[in-house]
Homo-oligomer: A and B are copies of this chain.
């Protein structure tokens, strides 16, 4: 995620990091060069170019804008839902931790031990969820929060975060069976664990189900064809200004298209993706702070990018 104040008028055109421009520059250049070529051709052989009206290009351009706009909406919704679910994980972790502290006595050694154990399991869950979303080593950063026994028990699980929630459930079940909490309290705590499970499962849904492939094909193909034909349609009307206008239209369409694609997979490490590392660390810090454990450092943006 890009973290910076909005740049002023002039600097606006110089910002590269976070911009979608580098990604689409080759395509925009190709269209611009083509438009230059077409404009030169038109200057020397105007008779080759019938006096096309631009109306069909207007129509097609507006249709394309509408359909790109639809895809952009869907992509943004995925990005924002991803963010909401991670916010939900923070909220659920806070609630679980606060509810436990309400029920168990932190001043008593057993109470403190339970609170600490569940805080560590919760932190391990959050890091494991992040690892899965980012597609990195599933055990990354989990060692500080899981005991050797936990790691053995989880070794074979296909879905590590779900397995860790299972351990939290076991731990709460133990408290219940030992009579430390009532069945009502267990139900209350379970509600928060279920909510964590829901947030994580929703993130898995976004991760595993891309937007329908056919949208991408249809929109990419139409956008390419459109921008390749555009100079031929505009040259009779715009003459030597054709490359400028073609470049701006190509920049707008390819830019929206590329940005939609980046946002549709919000859990990666591109500049506009969600800062999962920083969010997981924040949850970890809040959990450990509540049970008086030493805190890892907060993550800060590097070059205006927070991962």
CA A89 to CA B85, docked complex, whole Å: 17
Contact partners of A152 in chain B: CB under 8 A:
none
Please determine whether A69 and B72 come into contact, CB atoms closer than 8 angstroms: no
CA A105 to CA B253, docked complex, whole Å: 59
A133 within 8 A of B: no
CB-defined interface of A177-195 with B at 8 Å, one 1/0 digit per residue?
1000011111110101110
Those of A120-164 within 8 Å (CB) of chain B: 156-159, 162
Please determine whether A187 and B190 come into contact, CB atoms closer than 8 angstroms: no
CA A184 to CA B185, docked complex, whole Å: 8
If over half of A's interface residues share one DSSP class (helix, strand or loop), that class is named, otherwise mixed; here it is helix
A29 within 8 A of B: no
CB-defined interface of A231-257 with B at 8 Å, one 1/0 digit per residue?
010100111110011001101110110
Contact partners of A272 in chain B: CB under 8 A:
212-214
Contact partners of A193 in chain B: CB under 8 A:
98
CB-defined interface of A207-219 with B at 8 Å, one 1/0 digit per residue?
0010011111110
Interface residues on A, range: 35 or more
Please determine whether B158 and A19 come into contact, CB atoms closer than 8 angstroms: no
Other-chain contact of A60, B79, B170, B245 (Cβ < 8 Å): B245
Please determine whether A259 and B98 come into contact, CB atoms closer than 8 angstroms: no
Those of A88-116 within 8 Å (CB) of chain B: 88, 90-91, 94-95, 98-99, 101-103, 105
Please determine whether A20 and B217 come into contact, CB atoms closer than 8 angstroms: yes
Please determine whether B94 and A197 come into contact, CB atoms closer than 8 angstroms: yes
Other-chain contact of A162, B27, B60, B170, B286 (Cβ < 8 Å): B286
